Amino acid sequence: MRILVAHQVPRARTGGMSRLMGFIHDRVESAGHEIDYLCADDVPPHWGSWYGRRIAFPMAVRSKANEAERAGRPYDIINVHEPSAVPIILGRRRHTPVVITSHGLERRAWELALEEGRLGREGPRWRTRMSYPATSLWPADMALRRADHVFCLNEEDRAVLVDRYNRSPESITRVHPGADDIYARAAGRRDYAAVRRVLFAATWRKNKGIEDLVPAFTLLAERYTDLVLDVVGAGAPACDVQAQFPPSVRARIVCATPGDEAATAAAFAAADLFLLPSLFEGTPLTLIQAMMSGLPIVTTATCGMKDVIEHERTGLLVPIRAGGAIVAATSRLIEDRALRARLGIEARCAAAQRYTWDHAAEPVLRTYEALAA
């Protein structure tokens, strides 16, 4: 099979989306198939960020597919991110199966953002309210209804695809990230003796729960005077991240951007507890990495987090927007070494059994082969 993987993220595997698509398709390629990538880097920079995101990239997907067909080497499968799929679905010259990968349904994310505004938290700005429905929601909705198959990253999204988009269950496959065993090896000497470093490994943005993380960690820092927050992969300057905390806490906020997988695994190994209070996700890659690293975990009971973490067995789940619950769960782990060890060891075992990249690639490859046949 010749497969086009078209997702508007950088080609370098530095983020969750690029790693998920790259590492899974490495396994597909190892099975004997040919993979071509179309990434954000392939959109000419002079087209501008807004135009590139909303208009140019979807048209580039269609252009690349048509170009391959004119050259006599058409693609057998096209895998495209949800907001960029409409031009290729409507404009394909032959019925090449189009598979959408959703990293969290656009419609659900938008509804949650509007709810945030109604609750008095930070909601969408007026310009976004005007532009986003036409440039992202409408194309995503149409694509999700017309695609040949949809990959989604959690069971909540699967239910919405069936109930609201009228997709058959057979046309949906739930996929998940994996983690390399380098995370288990790097943390092989973890002893769970104490909690001094709390790890938040995620982009520093609203959907990751930073509005709840900041006040929660501030309270924890007052209670536990040697506690440090490691912010890994924020994608924002350290000074901007630290500025959101009170001055008394800022020196205990340590930001880092590891350069490769080994450095990332070392950052996880150096931490004592993993905290991710996300509001909305697919299934976060860093959660799987934390499990493979044997970290005790506190995360929110929504999206892929509640699919992966079994409460009181492989981690602790708290409600979204619940700063008090974050403080209580984190304090419980700080003060109970036996609980930390039990949750961390169980999480590592679960990750090794279910969440490797080989396991992650299996349903993708099966779906491609069925569609091509």
What CATH number did the domain enclosing 27 receive?
3.40.50.2000
Contact 372, 77 (CB under 8 A): yes
Domain count for the chain, please give it: 2
Q: Are residues 364 and 350 in the same domain?
A: no
Which range among 4-13, 130-139, 142-151 has the greatest average pLDDT?
A: 142-151
Q: Are residues 362 and 309 in the same domain?
A: no
The arrangement of strands across the sheet holding 34-38 comes to: 34-38, 2-6, 77-81, 98-101, 149-152, 172-174
Q: Are residues 126 and 8 in the same domain?
A: yes
What is the pTM for the complete model shown?
A: 0.93
The arrangement of strands across the sheet holding 228-232 comes to: 253-256, 228-232, 197-201, 273-276, 297-300, 316-318
Domain that holds residue 251: 182-354
Label residue 162 exposed, middle or buried (CB < 10 Å: 0-12, 13-18, 19+): middle
Q: Are residues 238 and 272 in the same domain?
A: yes
Residue 13: what pLDDT?
87
What pLDDT band is residue 216 in, cutting at 50, 70 and 90?
very high
Q: Are residues 65 and 15 in the same domain?
A: yes
What pLDDT band is residue 168 in, cutting at 50, 70 and 90?
very high
Residue 256: what pLDDT?
94
